[in-house]
A and B are shown apart, each in its own frame.
Chain A
Amino acid sequence: MVKVFERPKALADVPTHYCPGCTHGIIHRLIAEVIDELGIVDKTIGVAPVGCAVLAYNYFTCDMQQAAHGRAPAVATGIKRVCPDSAVFTYQGDGDLASIGCAEIVHAAARSEQITTIFVNNGIYGMTGGQMAPTTLPGDKTTTSPYGRDTSKQGFPIRISEMLATLDGPAYIARVSVHNVANIVRARKAIKKAFEYQLAGKGFTLVEILSTCPTNWGITPIEALNKVKSEMLPYFPLGEIKDIEAGEKK
C-alpha cells in the first residue's frame, strides 16, 4: 500500500504546546515539508524567537538556536556567515519581529543576508497573554488595548512586508495566509521559493504568514479563520510583494 501522507522528516515526532485552532502547527509542517522536499535537513539551521514559537527548537529536527526577543535575524546573520553553504531560517512572530526586533529585521534585509525569515503575523502577543502588537488591527481589543486599538493614541499597524520591500536588499518578500486549503498551498509555494532563493544566493527572503490566535482573540478556531479572511486580508493584502526574478509586484 502506498503511504500518501506522513510526518515530514524535518518535523520532530513530539506533541506541540500550541493551542487548539492555532495555525503555528500548519506553518511548522509547511516549513518541514519544504526542507524535506529540498533535501536540506542536514544543512539547515533554524532560529527560534521569543513568543509562542519559542519552543520551535523542539519541533524541527534540523539544528536550532534559540534567540533573544527580536534578535533572530542578527543571530541568523552570525550563523550564516559561519556556515555560508547552509540554509538558515528564522521563525518569528509579530511582537518579536515587528516591535522589539524591528531594527534587526530591517538591517538583515538591507544587508541582504542570505537567510529566510518566516514571519508569523497574528496581530497579537500570544505567549504573554494577548497584548496589543504592532500589527493589531485598529479597533481590536487586546489586554493592553481593552477599549479597542485607538489609532489616535496607539498608532497604526505596520505592514512589514511592504516596508521591507522598499529596500534594495531583499530578493523575495511574500505575504500569504493559512486560513484555507488554497492559501495553505500558496503559502507552501512561497516558503519553498524563499528557501530556493536563499540556496541560490539571491539574497534576503521573507514570507509573512497571516495566522490565528483563537485563544487570545477570544473566539473559536472557525471564527478565527474567518477573521483572517474578512478583517486581516483587507489590511494585509496577500501576494508576492517583491521578487527580484519577476520585478516589483503589487
Chain B
Amino acid sequence: MGERILMKGNEAIGEAAIKAGCRFFFGYPITPQNELPEYMSRRMPQVDGTFVQAESEIAAINMVYGAAGAGARAMTSSSSPGISLKQEGISYIAGAELPAVIVNIVRGGPGLGGIQPGQGDYFQSVKGGGHGDYRLIVLAPANLQEAVDLVTEAFDLADYYRNPVLILGDGLLGQMMEPVEFKATKLRELPAKEWATNGLRNHGGKTNIINSLVLDPHGLEEHNIRLQEKYARIVEAEQKAEIVDCDDAELAIVAYGSTARIAKTAVTQLRQEGLKVGLIRPISLWPFPVKDFEKVIPTVKSFLTVEMSAGQMVEDVRLTVNGCKPVYFYGRMGGIVPAPEEIAAQVREILGGAK
C-alpha cells in the first residue's frame, strides 16, 4: 500500500499522466477542467516536461498529433465545447494511428450549455465525434482512484494499439477531492515506436511518414479494413465493467461515471428494503462491455439505464440486450445530478412496489 494523497480530480488526473511518463501536455482553458492545465503548467517544468497553453483547443490537439507522431506520450484535456473543437484533430490522430490521451471533463450542453456535470457527450465519444470510420477507446472512471488508474491504463492502451484513448469524466469528478494512490503498475509489454518521426538518425535512416491521406480508393479501403480489424481486437480484449449484486437481481441498473456512484447508493438502499437490484457499471464505454451484459441478461428481468443526459448510453444497452428484456431509462439533464432517492423511486415503480 503506497501513500494516499488527497487531491482534486483534475489535478489527480494530471499527476497520474506524469507518473505514466507523459511529458507533453497541450491545453486550453475551459471550465470545469481548468485545474488540469493549471496543474500541468506547475508540474511539467519540475519533471523536465513541456506544457504549452495553445491558442485554441484545435491547436492543442494538433500539437498532440505532432508530439505523439514524434514518439512522445502526449495529452490534452478539455470540456465538452472544447472537445467538439478537437474532433477534427482526433479523427486525424485516429486515421494516422497515433497514441494519445484526451481527457473530457464533461459539462452540460448543447452549445455553450452550462458548467455543471453532464453526460451528454456519450454519443460524441463512442460513436465517432469527428469524420470517418474510427473508434476511440473510451474509459469512464467513477471515482478518483479509478481515474488515476485509468490514466495509466489509457497511455498503455494508446501505445499498445496506436490509438487515441479518451478519458470521459464529468464536472463532478473533475472538481471533487478524494484520496488517491499512484501505483507503479506495468500493464503490458509495449512495442518500440519505430514509426516515430523523430529524425532519420533515430531510426536507422529510413524515412518515417505520419499521415492519414490515402488517395487511392483501394488503398483507402484496405487502410479502413485494417483499422476495423484493430478495433475488432480491441472489442475482444478490452471490455471493462463492474458488476454489483447482479447474481440474484431482478433489475439491473446500468450507469457509468459519477452517475454509477449515485446508482450504487440507490442499490444499497433498495437491497435494505429487500428489493433484488444490482448494478452494471460500464468502465469501457467503447468497447461497450457486451460480455459483462451477457452474464446478466439471462437472469435479470429488466434493466434501468440512468444517465445525466436525455438518454444516450441507453441505446447501446438496448442494442446489447437486443429485445431480450425490457430496458427502461431515467435521466436528468446536464447540470442536474440525479439523487439516489430518485433512482430508487424509479426502480420501485418498475418492480411494482410502493409509488
Contacts and interface: CB of A to CB of B under 8 A. Distances in A.
A230 B338 CA distance: 70
Contacts of A111: 52
B9 interface: no
Nearest to A87: B199
B63 interface: yes
Interface stretch (A65-73, A175-183, A201-209, A234-242): A65-73
B52 A67 contact: no
B199 A86 contact: yes
Q: Is chain A's binding surface mostly helix, strand, loop or mixed? A: helix
Contacts of A13: none
B57 to A, nearest CB: 11
A104 B199 contact: no
Interface residues of A, number: 37
Interface stretch (A19-27, A37-45, A118-126, A166-174): A37-45
Given A78-B26, A83-B199, A61 B54 contact: no
A79 interface: yes
Contacts of A55: 213
B209 A66 contact: yes
Interface string A48-83: 000000110110111111111001001111111111
B42 interface: no
Given A76-B66, A78-B69, A79-B66, A63 B58 contact: no
A244 interface: no
A61 B67 contact: no
A82 B58 contact: no
A47 interface: yes
Interface residues of B, number: 39
Interface string B51-63: 0101110111011
A78 B64 contact: yes
B65 A44 contact: no
A81 to B, nearest CB: 5
B66 A75 contact: yes
A173 to B, nearest CB: 19
Contacts of A83: 70, 198-199
A80 B66 CA distance: 8
Interface string A70-110: 01001111111111001000000000000000011011000
Contacts of B26: 78
A75 B63 contact: yes
A54 B211 CA distance: 10
B24 interface: yes
Contact of B210 (A61, A65, A86): A65
A111 B53 CA distance: 10
A82 B207 CA distance: 18
Contacts of B201: 42-43
Contacts of B52: 77, 81, 111
Nearest to B70: A82
Contacts of B58: 71, 74, 103-104
Max chain B Cβ within 10 angstroms of own Cβ: one of A55, A75, A76, A77: A75
Contacts of B96: 66
A45 B70 contact: yes
Nearest to B205: A42
B213 A54 contact: yes
Interface in B207-261: 207-213
B88 interface: yes
In the A-B complex, the 5 residue pairs with the smallest Cβ-Cβ separation, listed nearest first, are: A78-B66, A78-B67, A74-B62, A63-B197, A75-B66
